[in-house]
Amino acid sequence: MRPLGIATLRRLCALGVPALLLALAACTKERDTVPVSCVREHAGLMAALRQAPATVVLADGTRLSRCVSTARTDAELQSLGHSFGRAADALRARAQSDASAALQLGYLAGAVRTGARRASGGIADQLARRMQQLATLAPGASAAATAALTRGLREGERRG
C-alpha cells in the first residue's frame, strides 16, 4: 500500500472536516422544550382560547399543538395534562349550554390531538385521549353547543 500524498490528504480533510462538524452539531443540538407559557398561567390559556376558532396562540406566540409536540418526558406531559385538563374542565362545565365554551373546548382537544400526532413515539397519545374524553357533551346539550364543539375540534386540528 502506498502512502497518501499531501494533496490527497488535503482533499480528504476538506471533505471530511465539514461533514464531521455537521454531524457533531446535529448530535449536540438541544431539543425543543415545552415553552413555559404552556403550563404557567391558567388565566393566560383561558384568554388565548377565546381567540378560537381563529388560530389560538399563547402570550409568547406558542400554538397549543407545539406545547404537546415538544413534550418528551412524563413530567412535561403531566404538567400539560394538569394545565390543559384544568382548562378543559372549566370549559366543559359551561359547554352544555354555552356554544362559545363548547367551541373553545373542541379547539383545545383538536389542538392537543394535532400536537400528539407530531410528538415522537406516541408519547402524547394518552394526553390526547384524555382531552378527547373531556371534549364530550352530555346527551341534553343544546344543538348549538354540539355544533360548536364539532367546529372547535376541526379548527383546533387544523390551526392548533
pLDDT in tens, 84-94: 999 999 999 99
Averaged pLDDT for residues 145-157: 97
Structural domain harbouring 93: 33-159
The total number of structural domains in the chain stands at 1
CB 112 within 8 A of CB 70: no
Q: Tell me the percentage of the chain whose pLDDT exceeds 70.
A: 81
Asked, for residue 13, whether it belongs to a domain, the answer is: no
Contacts of 141 (CB under 8 A, 6+ apart): 95, 96, 97, 102, 149
Q: How many residues does the chain have?
A: 160
Q: Say if 24 falls within a structural domain.
A: no
Q: Compute the average pLDDT of residues 124-137.
A: 94
Whole-structure pTM value: 0.79
Alpha carbon distances (Å) from 147 to 81, 83, 157: 25, 25, 16
Q: Say yes or no to pLDDT of 22 above 50.
A: no
Give me the chain's average pLDDT, please. Answer: 85
C-alpha cell belonging to residue 8:
490527497
Let me know if residue 134 belongs to a domain: yes
Q: Tens of pLDDT along 48-78?
A: 999 999 999 999 999 999 999 999 898 999 9
CB burial class (10 A; 0-12, 13-18, 19+) of residue 84? buried
How much is the average pLDDT of 110-131? 92
In a domain, 16, yes or no: no
Residue 4 lies in a domain: no
Does any domain span residue 138? yes
Angle between helices 74-95 and 42-49 (to 10 degrees): 50
Cis-peptide, bond into residue 35, ω within 30° of zero: no
Fill in the amino acid letter for 84. Answer: F
Which pLDDT band, with edges at 50, 70 and 90, does 121 fall under? confident
pLDDT at 41: 80
pLDDT at 120: 78
Cell of 39: 403550563
Q: Is 83 inside a domain boundary? A: yes
Nearest to 56 by CA among 155, 142, 143: 155
Q: Is residue 37 part of a domain?
A: yes
